């Protein structure tokens, strides 16, 4: 959106929850995901004489109280902030427009960002920063009508790939579209179109859900690596299990449309069980497993929102069960809060770019 002076552009991109079918998005599968209104990243673009990427005062810290302060911060936060993400999407956006013969107007800008998405919780904090920046570029260069909605998640993913981040399209689709989205990444779509087939769904069909997370880091790149190699090598167990995970999203779509929430419980739990059988407890981590089991002990359905660090939980028995759930998580040292749903983020120009396939 534009600021009061008509020059400043600011966009938000929200965290996302993989509800069903993940991680099959990187295995020609299907997923259902939604954008999470609880957390977001925002990027601000202001025209300027030179092109400037502004380091975040917290996330791109380069001044420390002492050597031990710096080392402790690196252990907790890692080496990377958001500056590299903004630089990467600048490059990817520029090269895409050049290759597609999309002319970009002259003029520079200053980019700054902020985020409240908890780090290493599997809520797609990195891609949210990239997604918000891309939205700013679409408006600054007035090319929203020229870069189709379906292509935008690929640009975001390509920017992250520039930095060696291992990920799939699911998260970026949810963040570009907003709301609730069913995604089919079947091989025929991926090879013919270069992206999946994405179907927005009515967010109001979802029952009340809860977000649970811990302060434990989880590197999803390492979590994915061994299973992906086994899949590439033709491991029958991994291939059949991943196919079943993909089918969970297909069944889940039908269950949600019918508001069959009993079926949703079964599918959410099965989704996690399949992930656990493929990846193993060592890869998932004891704290992540505990996060799931706390919910199950009170009869709630639970699964990871991504690759670990946070869970999405559903209480089929209503408010009394929610009270038990909240008490159990607080005693176990986890944070729990109601999921805030947000509707689709697409505007009229975006929708026209979808319909003009």
Catalytic residues: 171
| Beta sheet of 335-338, edge-to-edge order | 301-304, 310-314, 210-213, 335-338
**Residue 284 contacts residue 290 (beta carbons within 8 Å):** no
> Is there a contact between 108 and 51 (Cβ–Cβ < 8 Å)?
yes
- Return the closest-CA partner of residue 121 out of 296, 273, 337, 327: 337
Report the run of H or E that residue 262 belongs to, with start and end: helix 261-279
Nearest partner of 274 among 237, 232, 301, 233, judged by Cα: 237
Question: DSSP string spanning 154-181?
Answer: HHHHHHHHHTT----SHHHHHHHHBSEE
Q: Residue 169 forms beta bridges with which residues?
A: none
Task: Please report which helix (H) or strand (E) contains residue 245, including its range.
Answer: helix 236-257
**Residue 231 is encoded by which pair of tokens?**
């899949």
Report d(CA 264, CA 251) in Å as an integer. Answer: 9
| Per-residue CA distances from 356 to 148, 274, 283, 316 (Å) | 9, 38, 43, 41
Instruction: Say how far apart CA 185 and CA 170 lie, in whole Å.
Output: 9
């Amino acid at each position: 959106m534009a600021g009061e002076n008509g020059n400043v552009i600011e966009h938000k991109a929200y965290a996302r929850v993989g509800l069903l079918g993940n991680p099959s998005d990187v295995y020609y599968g299907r997923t259902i995901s939604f954008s999470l209104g609880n957390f977001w990243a925002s990027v601000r673009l202001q025209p300027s004489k030179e092109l400037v990427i502004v380091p975040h005062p917290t996330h791109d810290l380069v001044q420390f109280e002492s050597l031990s302060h710096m080392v402790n911060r690196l252990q907790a936060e890692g080496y990377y902030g958001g500056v590299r993400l903004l630089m990467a999407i600048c490059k990817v956006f520029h090269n895409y427009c050049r290759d597609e013969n999309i002319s970009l107007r002259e003029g520079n800008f200053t980019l700054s960002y902020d985020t409240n998405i908890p780090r290493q919780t599997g809520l797609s904090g990195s891609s949210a920063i990239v997604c918000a920046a891309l939205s700013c570029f679409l408006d600054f260069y007035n090319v929203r009508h020229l870069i189709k909605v379906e292509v935008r998640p690929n640009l975001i993913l390509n920017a992250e790939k520039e930095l060696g981040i291992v990920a799939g399209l699911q998260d970026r689709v949810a963040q570009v579209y907003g709301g609730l989205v069913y995604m089919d990444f079947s091989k025929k779509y991926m090879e013919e179109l270069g992206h999946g087939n994405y179907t927005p769904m009515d967010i109001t069909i979802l029952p009340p859900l809860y977000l649970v997370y811990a302060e434990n880091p989880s590197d999803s790149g390492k979590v994915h690596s061994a299973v992906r190699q086994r899949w590439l090598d033709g491991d029958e167990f991994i291939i059949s299990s991943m196919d079943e995970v993909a089918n969970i999203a297909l069944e889940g779509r039908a269950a949600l449309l019918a508001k069959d929430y009993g079926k949703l419980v079964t599918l959410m739990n099965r989704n996690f069980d399949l992930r656990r059988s493929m990846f193993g407890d060592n890869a998932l981590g004891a704290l992540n497993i505990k996060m799931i089991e706390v919910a199950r002990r009170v009869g709630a359905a639970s699964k990871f929102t991504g690759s670990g660090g946070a869970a999405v939980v559903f209480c089929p028995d209503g408010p009394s069960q929610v009270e038990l759930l909240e008490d159990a998580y607080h005693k176990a040292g986890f944070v729990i809060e109601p999921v805030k749903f947000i509707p689709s983020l697409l505007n009229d120009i975006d929708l026209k770019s979808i319909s003009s396939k």
